[in-house]
Structure 1
Amino acid sequence: MLKKTGILFLIFLWITAVGAVFAKDAGPLFHVIELNGVITSPSAKYVAQSLEEATAAKAEGLIILLDTPGGLDTAMRDIAKSILNAPLPVIVYVYPSGARAASAGVIIAQAAHVAAMAPGTNIGAAHPVAIGIGGSGEMDKTMAQKMENDAAAYARSIAKTRGRSEEWVEKAVRKSESITADEALKLNVIDIVAADIEKLLSAIDQKTVTVAGVKRKISTVDAVLDTKKMGTRQGILAAISNPNIAYLLLLIGLAGLYFEFSTPGAILPGVIGGISLLLAFFALSTLPVSYTGILLILFSVILFIAEIKIMSHGMLTVGGVISLALGSFLLFDSPEPALRISLQILLPAVLLASGFFIVVILLAVKAQMRKHYSGTEAMIDGRGKAATDIHGEGKVFFQGEYWTAMSDREIPKGARVRILKVDGLKLVVEEIKEDN
């Protein structure tokens, strides 16, 4: 027994020693995240959280794989602020080939301790964008100039902090200049051009960067990469903050509520519509939205509802379709292409939504026309059978039910009767005389 215990103890020590050797030999840890699509508030929160996780894991650095057409000025500044004040090196890598760092992506790349690009990528075309409901891409000249000057100064200050070209980033803001990866390297806009992450790590090994005011060298020998994915909650928020998704949610929400109000009792369309509308309002609060566009879309729904109540021979429906189309085109009136609705989404959505509203209107009008042939009115002149003798009052069988019947004449049991009038829950009837 003692011998077995000793053997087990030696095995335990051997496993522990091997584990310690492997732990000692493990290289520096790098967290890797992807920042794709339009830069919005959820994007900024994702970067901030990723930095916190990398710091807690004692990572050597955070690598951000960037591919963006641009985004919101406020979200861009939040990301830049997080990177500039990060307690560890941040490497922004425009990757893979075909990716871009446009507009807001320019500033994010400039804020990085190391800015890198893959061959076949581009960077540039920065421009400030207003945010929020009521914001619009069409600003007066004075305000536009102020925003441009502010954005240019901000870009220059970040480029200066990282020792990169101040002249070029100002051109990117003021003249929307865009360049390739090789041109960016030549103009000192970025630090490295690398074909993949392995070559990137090899290129930045022992590179000196300033982190929180202190110079330090980045070590990448035998680096361990830990790729982090966006969480479910963050993914949903990022998805609905896309202008195309936000617009579709708005239409689905309005259509669902419209259907519920037009045909009360359906329940499910109302629930789906309510949830979609709440998500749409969240998304719209993070995007540059025009009041005019929202009001036109809401007005179109009012016109569609009015068509059911007022017989305008289709004039209100035509007005609703026009209002919906105009509101959709004006909803995201931004100079930033990434913050506008794609025509491939907008045109089919307007046609489908208009078709839906028109179909519901036709069904509602058809149902209203049928009201004259339903209810108590439909019972008048109906035929039934006397279930009992009727002496002033009795019972008749009509459409599968027994009714209390009244007549000013005696009617024998089994006789056929005709309904003259409906008085509450009683039927006024008369006997149908057979003409032999």
Structure 2
Amino acid sequence: MRRVLPRPSSRSPCISLMRLLSFMALALFAAINAYKGFAQPSTPLVVEVRVDGIISPASADFIVRGLEQAAKDKAELFVIQLDTPGGLDTSMRTVVRQILASPVPVATFVGPAGARAASAGTFILYASHIAAMTPASNLGAASPVQIGGSPQPAVPATPATAPKAQQGGDEGDTPAKDAKAGTSAAHGDTMMNKVTNDAAAYIRSLAQLRGRNIKFAESAVRDAASMSASEALDAHVVDFVASDLGDLLKQVDGREVKLTTGTTVLHTLDARIQTIEPGWRYQLLALIANPQVALVLLMVGIYGLFYEMLNPGLALPGVAGFICLLLGLYAFQLLPVSWTGVGLLALGISLMVAEAFLPSFGVIGAGGVVAFVLGGLFLTDTGIPEFDLSIPFLVAVALCSVAFLIIVGAVAARAHKHPVVSGREDMLGQEGVVASVGRTAVYASIHGESWRVRCPDSLQEGDQVRVKALDGLTLLVERIKAGP
């Protein structure tokens, strides 16, 4: 019996060799990448945002989003280059809370040369893990502003200001009267003292957390004290004085920073700097988070809806007015406004609109102007010029509103005096020609349309008639000329 051996496959050695070569190539590629990663570590990343202007809801949102981006990119350091005269307390506290909870070290750098970190900026500087300034910059003047006015501080009793009765003064100036006056002054200062003490305790806690000068921090709040960059460095208010961001990164390299997640050492030498530019969101918030813009948006919104109600079906005034109204209300929600002021503004605008419909001879409109101006005055009182409405602005806006209503009213009155040019009423007095005469109905051509007419006289085709009255869809006419 003949035994047949299996025939060897000619493909097997080739396939095995190709697989072996592929495996060796992959292994070599992985080894090269691993070597590169070990030999050349990734360059550290520093994320920077630049804030130039008041600390507002827009700038607070910009800083917070920059912090979130730095945490997402696992940046080595987040730098706030700051130049601000101050800002809103609510926005400042939002920024401070995010800095305290940040997983990325935060450095506030007061720059460029000539910049300042006043008021709210001082709080942000104290809250940061690293505080730095450029030469010729300053910080401080962090006293809070009393809402509703700044009362005079209470004067302590001294021999010169002691009750006159104790110094041989007039008999009417009794200690009881002086005590009553002192009690009234103290009551007037209570709210200011509460705000000042709260701010002083807040910045003192930040100074204790970061190991910075507590005495100056409290003096900046209570006495509006300020310091230059060199003075702040000598007094341990800031950690570094640097000419620019590159100089700062060289100085902080190797510094140990305590975070909520633990302690980290900064490696910022030759770091890659990524500057986050303000986007459309920041620009939109900066635009609408302004009391003047918010007020104009509110008025445009109300007038747009008012015009849509007068002319149903136009759509554009109603849609635009509704959008502006929502943007205005959103801006008021961002700003520290008094809702009493908002209510007075709405009342004033409503009264000015009502003046166009009610025969009050200007009384309702004048009341609307007064309510509008008072509402604008009560709307905000922050002590920051950019966030307070001035009387000239309010008066100008109110006068523009009154002028708009006068123009609308004059146009409406003129249109009311004109004869009707459309509808059934327009048929009165119109002339036409009898087109056909039937057994039961007579039709005439009037205005290019065929109307059924009725006349006390007998009509013939071609007669000229004039419309005297309407009876439903039938015109009552008179014959003015017999037909040919």
Alignment TM class, shorter chain as reference: 0.7 to 0.9
Q: Distance in 2 between matches of 1:109 and 1:170?
A: 14
Distance verdict in 2 for CA 1:257–1:176, change over 3 Å: farther
2-structure distance, mates of 1:123, 1:386: 93
- Structure with the bigger RCO (C-alpha within 8 Å, sep 6+) is 1
SS in 1 for 2:481: coil
TM-score with structure 2 setting the length: 0.76
Cα deviation for residue 187 of structure 1 reads 3.9
Query: Do residues 193 (structure 1) and 209 (structure 2) align?
Result: no
Tell which deviates more after alignment, 309-318 or 144-153.
Answer: 309-318
State how far apart, in whole Å, the 1-side matches of 2:479 and 2:424 are: 20
The amino acid of 1:336's aligned partner reads: I
Is 201-210 or 270-279 further displaced after alignment? 201-210
CA drift at 1:82 = 1.9
Contact 1:317-1:358 within 8 A present in 2 as well = no
Residues 1:241 and 1:143: Cα distance change in structure 2 (over 3 Å): same
Q: Distance in 2 between matches of 1:213 and 1:145?
A: 36
Paired residues of 1:40 and 1:286 also in contact (CA < 8 A): no
Could you tell me how far apart the structure 1 residues matched to 2:444 and 2:135 are? 89
Query: Following TM superposition, by how much is the alpha carbon of 1:181 offset from its aligned partner in structure 2, in angstroms?
Result: 3.6
Which residue identity is paired with 2:108?
Answer: V
1:152 alignment partner in structure 2: 200
Q: Cα RMSD between the aligned structures?
A: 3.7
Residues 1:409 and 2:483 are matched in the alignment:
no
CA distance in 2, matches of 1:157, 1:85: 15
Pick which of 143-152 and 210-219 moved more: 210-219
- The CA deviation string for residues 178-207 of structure 1, in whole angstroms up to 9 with x for no partner, is 444444334433223333211221232233
Unaligned runs of 5+ in 2: 1-13, 151-187
1:433 is aligned to 2:449: no
Structure-2 separation of matches of 1:84 and 1:156: 15
How far is 1:23 from its partner?
A: 8.0
- TM-score (structure 1 length as normaliser): 0.84
Identity of aligned residues (%): 39
| Greater CA drift, 176-185 or 377-386 | 176-185
Q: Does the C-alpha gap of structure 1 residues 390 and 261 become closer, same or farther in structure 2, counting only changes over 3 Å?
A: same
Counterparts of 2:70 and 2:208 in 1: how far apart (Å)?
26
Matched, 1:72 2:88: yes
Q: Which 10-residue stretch deviates more, 273-282 or 43-52?
A: 43-52
Structure number with larger C-alpha Rg: 2
Q: What secondary structure does 2:86 align onto? A: coil
Partners of 1:389 and 1:222 in 2: CA distance: 103
Corresponding residue for 2:190?
142
One-letter amino acid of the counterpart of residue 282, structure 1: Y
What is the aligned counterpart of 1:270 among 313, 318, 322?
318
CA distance in 1, matches of 2:190, 2:84: 29
* Structure 1 residues 57 and 229, CA gap change in structure 2 (3 angstroms): same
1:379 equivalent in alignment to 2:427:
yes
**Separation of aligned partners in 2, 1:282 and 1:124:** 32
Q: Does 2:276 align with 1:228?
A: yes
1:212 aligned onto 2:260: yes
2:43 counterpart of 1:27: yes
Spell out, residue by residue over 1:84-141, the C-alpha distance to the aligned partner (whole angstroms, 9 max, x if none).
Answer: 23223100122334543232222111101111233454433324479xxxxx645964
Q: Which residue number corresponds to residue 388 of structure 1?
A: 436
Secondary structure at the counterpart of residue 108 of structure 1: helix
Structure 1 stretches lacking a partner, 5+ long: 131-135
Q: 1:57 aligns with which of 69, 73, 80?
A: 73
Number of residue-to-residue matches in the alignment:
430
Equivalent position amino acid for 1:55 in 2: A
Structure 2 equivalent of residue 133 of structure 1: none
**1:94 maps to amino acid:** V
Q: Could you tell me whether the CA contact under 8 Å between 1:262 and 1:364 is conserved in 2? A: no
- The secondary structure found in structure 2 opposite 1:309 is coil
1:357 to 383, 401, 405: 405
Aligned counterpart, 2:358: 310
| Helix, strand or coil at the partner of 1:388 | strand
